Amino acid sequence: MVNKIGNIAVLCDWCRGPYQEKLFSGILAAADKYDKKCFFFAGRKLKAPDSEDLYQNRIYQLIRPDDYEGIILTGLLADYCTQKEFLDFAISYNSCSLVSVEYKLPGYSAVLCDDKSSIAGLVAHLVSDHHYHHFIVVTGPRDNYCSRNRLSLIKKQLEKHTILLEPASILEGDYSYISGRSAAKKLLHKLKKGFHKKIDVIMAFNDLMAAGIIDELGENKIRVPQDVAVTGFDNLDDASTNVPGITTIDQPIYDLGYFALQSLATDKAPENQDIFLKSKLIIRGSCGCPEQGSNKSLVEQ
């Protein structure tokens, strides 16, 4: 029998993405501090439409909960499944402590981002400072927990500025660079057909999609930010080196991982008690601000 003391299982959809790498760095730093061993199980997203992804998910069946002191579930696993389906998946590991990252499951603790103030700041900056009023939003997958929350917060903030986000102004992506380009192509098609008369800004729900949007627009002779502004989310490393630099919301991704493992290692993960970490707004050139000295946080000003 495996000695489970100190063993932590981390269930994730991928290992090599920039988001995952930063998250895992935080997890491993906490594991080193608290003398824990991490075992990473990288399948794919649950209920994914691709049959090959479903085959990869068989790896989760190899996990025996009795071999682990705790389990970390990453919210990215649930992009294509309902909350009930993700909850049923979590319940299958009920014999050990469990914490989720960026996804709230009833009855379990979670480490989450509090994006209210940063999204409010971003919308206020775009409307009040740049006088933008025609918005397009490119979301993550429909069932993604973070995407739903971000969309709800953005709608509420736009309504405070008497701006209504119409359904036709919401495009669905999957957080990939390719889906950003695809969303931009769909948007350009709509513009040619007359569905949209004017676009001031495109708000992408992560930096990879924002980069794809910027590149697709550029190839079609539409300049960012001179012709249309673009914003992202996460503040991945490439957001600062992109041309133009991407105005984004910095997610404390490293800290999400660190506190997830810490909560298991120190028994600070009682049922249904959550840890909230603040995000912050980072202003760069893609929204229309000057690039020089633009890598700054409005929260800190």
Domain annotation covers residue 36 = yes
Is residue 97, in this structure, part of any structural domain at all? yes
Length of the chain: 301
Q: Could you tell me the sign of the dihedral formed by the alpha carbons of 279, 284, 290, 295, in that order?
A: positive
Is pTM, for the whole model, over 0.75? yes
Residue 226 lies in a domain: yes
Asked if 82 and 148 sit in the same domain, the reply is no
CATH at 151 = 3.40.50.2300
With respect to residue 54, please indicate whether it lies within any of the assigned structural domains: yes
Q: Percent of the chain scored above 90 by pLDDT? A: 74
Is 253 a residue whose pLDDT tops 70?
yes
42 part of a folded domain? yes
Do 32 and 90 fall into the same domain? yes
Do the Cβ atoms of 48 and 85 come closer than 8 Å? no
Pair 82, 190 in one domain: no
Does residue 40 sit in the same domain as residue 143? no
Band of pLDDT at residue 1, cut at 50, 70 and 90: very low
Asked if residue 61 and residue 20 are part of one domain, the reply reads: yes
For residues 229 and 267, membership in a common domain is answered with: no
Q: Which domain holds residue 40?
A: 7-113+253-278
Does residue 158 sit in the same domain as residue 125?
Answer: yes
* Same-domain pairing of 201 and 180: yes
| Same domain assignment for residues 108 and 127 | no
Q: In this structure, are 146 and 259 located in the same domain?
A: no
How many domains is the chain built from?
A: 2
Same domain, 181 and 102: no
Same-domain status, 90 and 150: no
Does residue 167 register a pLDDT over 80?
A: yes
Query: What confidence tens digit (pLDDT) does each residue in 197-252 have?
Result: 789 999 999 999 999 999 999 999 999 999 999 999 999 988 999 999 999 999 99
Q: 2 in a domain, yes or no? A: no
